[in-house]
Structure 1
Amino acid sequence: MARTLVLIRHAKAEQPDDRDDHGRALAGQGRRDAPAIGRWLHAQDVTLQVAVVSSADRTRQTYRLLAAELPGAPDPVVSDDVYYASAGDLLEIVRALPPEALSAAIVGHNPGIGMLANALDDGASEVAETARMRAGFPTASVAVFAVDGDWATVDPGAVRLTGYAVARG
């Protein structure tokens, strides 16, 4: 059964000041870009059943703003495990997604989220933006993958990129 995996890097955050990194909020550009992610996903007919979101302020804000533009978006599962996660850590989160879920999103940070997107891609996509995804995964990036089989069996190089955008509001 085909599943949909969506990997999202948080929208642009404030520059660090005396606040710790975990507490950084979205910048003005990020508050404009996050809803654009949701609008793009909606235009691609992507629905979500599960959303695992880093516990950092900027990722939770990104998800809240994009979810407002995506009908039926689920409440997020907020996880400290996504914060500072490597691509390997994130892959384990994907493999642990509920087996009954047919669609899921992970909202996280670079370098892990971008590295996972590039590692998962089977290289056979016809998405015009594939080269852009490979060149970097800037803030407000979103990659959509078709997954054949169960979450538990997802491996690098085994899922097909079906869409990629850097959403700008």
Structure 2
Amino acid sequence: MSETKNRTLVLLRHAKSDWPADVPDHERPLADRGRRDAPAMGRWLREAGFRPDHVLCSTALRTRQTWELVKGELAGTPPTTFEPRVYGATALELLDVIASAPAEAGTTLVIGHNPGLEILALTLSGEVAGRENDHLREKFPTASVAVFAWSGRWDQLAAGSARLVHFVTPHDL
């Protein structure tokens, strides 16, 4: 695969989760708000033209539920890897997971958790000024989407190497 292939990385924080008593963190389900926000973000991805070629999703219940609701709004279902390394991952660990994305995937969607996703998004976008970056620096709420464009192989993605093209929160819709 060419090293200069144009790529799109979509980072999606899981939708708002519930906090039921005596339920381990990994098994927390979505809250009502999360079940409303996730499909809205899926519609936004479809309408904006960001259909993933591959999905890397945390194994946590709330991320799997988020993906089910998002993919219901997309045209078709891309191959999905439920990746245990995404759960609780740091930004550097997420980069390692993304490096394993299929070479043929032009757009990869990662569904995960904070603080790892937010730190990764800030790391990728660097210190570039602009409306999208300023919006991202405010907060990375649940069900938010950060879309990055760059050229290269998935294993070449690094700090400051991508351009943030969209940052959308459920509140923005």
TM-score w.r.t. structure 1 length?
Answer: 0.94
Quick one: which amino acid aligns to residue 2 of structure 1?
N
Tell me which of 2, 16, 23 is aligned to 1:19.
23
Which one of the candidate residues 110, 113, 126 is aligned to 2:114?
A: 110
RMSD value, Cα: 1.5
Query: Which amino acid in the other structure matches residue 71 of structure 1?
Result: A
Specify every segment of 5 or more residues in structure 1 that has no aligned partner in the other structure, as ranges: none
* Structure-2 separation of matches of 1:122 and 1:15: 33
Aligned to 2:156: 153
Q: Which residue in the other structure is 1:57 paired with?
A: 61
Residue-by-residue CA offset, 1:77-117 (whole Å, 9 max, x unaligned): 10111001011100111122111111101000000011101
Match for residue 137 of structure 1? 140
Q: Secondary structure at the match of 1:129?
A: helix
Q: TM-score, normalised by structure 2?
A: 0.92
**Structure 2 CA distance for aligned equivalents of residues 49 and 125 of structure 1:** 29
Letter in 2 for 1:107: I
Deviates more, 1:75-84 or 1:106-115: 75-84
SS in 1 for 2:134: helix
Give unmatched runs, 5+ long, in structure 2: none
Could you report, residue by residue, the CA deviation over 1:33-91 in whole angstroms, capped at 9, with x for unpaired residues?
00011111112111111000000000000011001101123142101110010111001
Offset at residue 123 of structure 1 (A): 4.2
Tell me the percent identity: 43
Moved segments of 4+, more than 3 Å: 122-126
- Contact kept? 1:14, 1:25, Cα under 8 Å: yes
How many residue pairs end up in the alignment? 168
